[in-house]
Amino acid sequence: MPLPKDILRCASLTRLYIGVWNFPDIPTAHRPAFPNLHELGLFHSMVEDKKFNALLAHCPELKILSFALSYNYPSCLRIKSRSLRVVLEWVCTFDKIIVDDAPCLERLLFESFSEQRRPVKIVHASRLEVLGFLDFQLHTLEIGGTVIRAGMTMKDGALLPSLKILAVKVRFSHDKEVKMLHTLLRCFPCLETLHIMSIPSWSADRGDCAETWNSMGSSNCLSHLKTFVLHGFRGLDREQLFDSYILEKGIKTLGIVCGDSDGVLLKGNAPSGGSSGSGISVCPASSCWSFQHAIDLSVEDPFCVLRRDK
């Protein structure tokens, strides 16, 4: 259904969520359509690229932008906004995501679905603090014009020193993904919280990839890391190699998301290094990853809650 153009005259709106609409044209010479809009959610709606770009230009106070179940329209999610703080893509099929110019952007979040890999390009986002879930099977990351590739020599322009929380989905049985994780972590020199979601794979866990992590031993990578959270930990050899590498980095808190039951969680195969003698606090963690938490700036970490009292 075509969205009634009268909606563009609702200047008093501060929050707008719409679903299953075809968005109308917005005249480029038109005054701001939504001068007071702070939050916009588009669900399973058709918004052509040029219409979306015009819409974003007519929302000068927009803080939170979310797309859910959007297929093909827009084909490219291009972010150019002086006010946006949160951008969320939830099960959409964008060809690419480009953060062109977003000086206030703090969170760039994905729950991606696609049959092909898509680029995520971050051109200018000097205040970006939270990024994820990146999925190596679905995303290629470009920072400051540099495409991040496994094993590459890192350049200053490919670093994001503002990033504090990173969430990554990894298939540890895939050599390329292990090497890509190794390279990716070097892009964020001030990272404080790392979430790793281990994704099962049909490929066999071949076990020995210690050389990959040993090659990073003397670098300053992860020197600011305080919290490491494991999602879906199954105790595979390659998972444990990575966990051992992280635990040697002086982290203070290890969180483990294994299930709903504290009994199951605490009796599970937690990685070695979490004893009281190591100085690391091991605690259960509850996943809070959802559409609602992702767009809620009052939620400090949208990926999980550490239950330190347990």
Does 198 share its domain with 280? yes
- Residue 34, in any domain of the structure: yes
Does 121 share its domain with 133? no
Final residue of a domain: which of 75, 103, 127? 127
Does 163 share its domain with 43? no
- Cα–Cα distance for residue pair 147/158, rounded to 1 Å: 8
pLDDT band of residue 214 (cuts 50, 70, 90) is: low
Does 42 share its domain with 142? no
- Residue 208, in any domain of the structure: yes
Instruction: Specify the pLDDT at position 273.
Output: 43
Return the closest-CA partner of residue 106 out of 88, 91, 92: 88
- Residue 101, in any domain of the structure: yes
- Residue 268, in any domain of the structure: no
Q: Which domain holds residue 140?
A: 129-262+273-309
Does 139 share its domain with 238? yes
Summarised one tens digit per residue, pLDDT across range 36-86 is: 999 999 999 888 898 898 889 889 999 999 999 988 788 999 999 999 999
Residue 220 has pLDDT above 70, yes or no: no
- Tell me the pTM: 0.89
Q: What angle do CA 79, 168, 215 make, to 5 degrees?
A: 120
Final residue of a domain: which of 111, 127, 143? 127
**pLDDT, averaged across the chain:** 85
Summarised one tens digit per residue, pLDDT across range 251-281 is: 999 998 865 444 334 333 445 444 444 678 8
Does 158 share its domain with 136? yes
Summarised one tens digit per residue, pLDDT across range 133-163 is: 999 999 999 999 999 999 888 888 889 999 9
Final residue of a domain: which of 72, 106, 127? 127
Summarised one tens digit per residue, pLDDT across range 19-32 is: 999 888 776 655 67
Does 205 share its domain with 122? no
Does 25 share its domain with 120? yes
Summarised one tens digit per residue, pLDDT across range 238-252 is: 888 888 888 888 899
- Residue 267, in any domain of the structure: no
- Cα–Cα distance for residue pair 22/3, rounded to 1 Å: 6
Determine contact, residues 35/60, Cβ cutoff 8 Å: yes
What does the buried/exposed string (b/e) look like for 11-33 if buried means 16 or more CB atoms within 10 Å of the residue's CB? eebeebeeeebebeebeeeeeeb
Does 112 share its domain with 140? no
Does 60 share its domain with 49? yes
Please state the domain count of the chain: 2
Does 135 share its domain with 31? no
Does 287 share its domain with 181? yes
